[in-house]
Amino acid sequence: MAAAAKVRDNNNVIALRENSDWNSFGRANASQKWRRQSAAMGHDMTLAIVAAAQVQPGMRVLDIACGTGEPAISIAHLLAGGGDVVGVDISPAPLKIAEDRATQRGLSNVTFQQADAHHLPFADNTFDRITSRLGVMFFSDLPRALGEMRRVLKPAGRAILLVWGPLDQPYFQTTIGTILRLLPGTVAPESGRKMFALGDQGVLSQAMRQAGFLQVKEELVTVPWTWMGTPEEVWAYFQDVTIPFASFLQSIPADRRHEIDVEVLKAISQYYDGTSTKFTATAKIAVAVK
């Protein structure tokens, strides 16, 4: 993958998420192309993290790695008239989509800005809640990012982090799992394996405790993960936007490509009811107090 963008802090160079891939023109176009179906697919996972956040009127909320706007937009709806939300992401392209979505919904209490989780541009003790949905796994320096989250939280504020559970779940087994079965000896790239690195029991909660968080609790949740469309669309979407597996997908031998497409579509079709492709998704939610 392309070289990571860098910032200098205390004379140390901190590697950030690989900027050129996450900011690629192709990914931005794909996010726009699939925005409706993608939002519907992630709806129940958004509901899960919003419920865990337990926001109250008057709160200030920071949503880190917000991408195209969730859960920032859903939380802003809850706080309308009494609280505000800031969504940040290292990549500017999805933030433009997030801004458009908020405008379309008439929300004036949510703003979006480009920022790096390892070096948050906010004062100490600023936010009542910090949320992050499916972003924490990609931070290049997790202890540093967690420390930054804790720094900008108010005393007794809460961090609510949602990460992927195991690789062994329908959305990934029908896609990546099928390829791995058909190409013995191949392994998922490190960037792809990283997506699931915090899904094992106790890994994320231990990291949060080491960063100074208290009352850390985590749980696995399984929610609907429904694509409003065909298996062909699911496979096209996966290839368009799943950046951690991009190099792996590009490395498929040309003479095996058709076979793999056929088998992946066959696997996905098990979940297709003629209208929607109905997977489930398993994620881990960790909640902790400053």
Q: What is the pLDDT of residue 27?
A: 52
How far does Cα 10 stand from its chain's mean position?
29
Number of H helices, E strands in the chain: 14, 9
Question: Is 206 inside a domain boundary?
Answer: yes
Task: Give the Cα-Cα-Cα angle 50, 105, 74 (nearest 5 degrees).
Answer: 5
| Spatial separation of the C-alpha atoms in residues 213 and 159, rounded to whole Å | 9
Is the residue at 37 inside a domain?
A: yes
| Domain contains 208 | yes
Low-confidence residues of the chain: pLDDT under 70: 1-31
Does the predicted TM-score (pTM) go above 0.75? Answer: yes
Mean of per-residue pLDDT scores for the chain = 89
Q: Which of 160, 141, 288, 267 is nearest to 221 (CA)?
A: 160
Q: Other CB atoms closer than 10 Å to residue 251's CB: what's the count?
A: 11
Quote the percentage of the chain above a pLDDT of 70: 89
The pLDDT score that the predictor gives to residue 28 is: 56
In tens, the pLDDT along 123-147 reads 999 999 999 999 999 999 999 999 9
Upper half-sphere CA count for residue 196 (Cβ side, 13 Å): 16
Residue 272: DSSP 8-state = B
- Phi first, then psi, for residue 49 (nearest 5°) are -75, -35
Q: Is residue 212 part of a domain?
A: yes
Residue 188 in domain: no
Burial of 273 (0-12, 13-18, 19+ CB in 10 A): exposed
Please give the pLDDT value at position 36.
86
Question: Which residues are CB-contacts of 157 (< 8 A; sequence separation ≥ 6)?
Answer: 127, 128, 129, 130, 289, 290
What residue numbers bound the domain in which 22 lies?
6-166+193-225+281-289
- pLDDT tens digits, residue range 226-269? 999 999 999 999 998 888 999 999 999 999 999 999 999 999 99
d(CA 283, CA 132) in angstroms, rounded, equals 12
Domain count across the chain: 1
Contacts of 233 (CB under 8 A, 6+ apart): 37, 227, 277
Q: Which helix (H) or strand (E) holds 130?
A: strand 127-133
Judged by DSSP in three states, 47 sits in: helix
Establish if 177 belongs to a structural domain.
no
* Nearest Cα to Cα of residue 177 among 254, 274, 279: 279
Here the CATH number for the domain that contains residue 97 is: 3.40.50.150
pLDDT at 243: 86
pLDDT at site 74: 97
In this structure, is residue 245 part of a structural domain?
no
> Would 93 be classed as within a structural domain?
yes
Structural element, H or E, at residue 94: helix 92-104
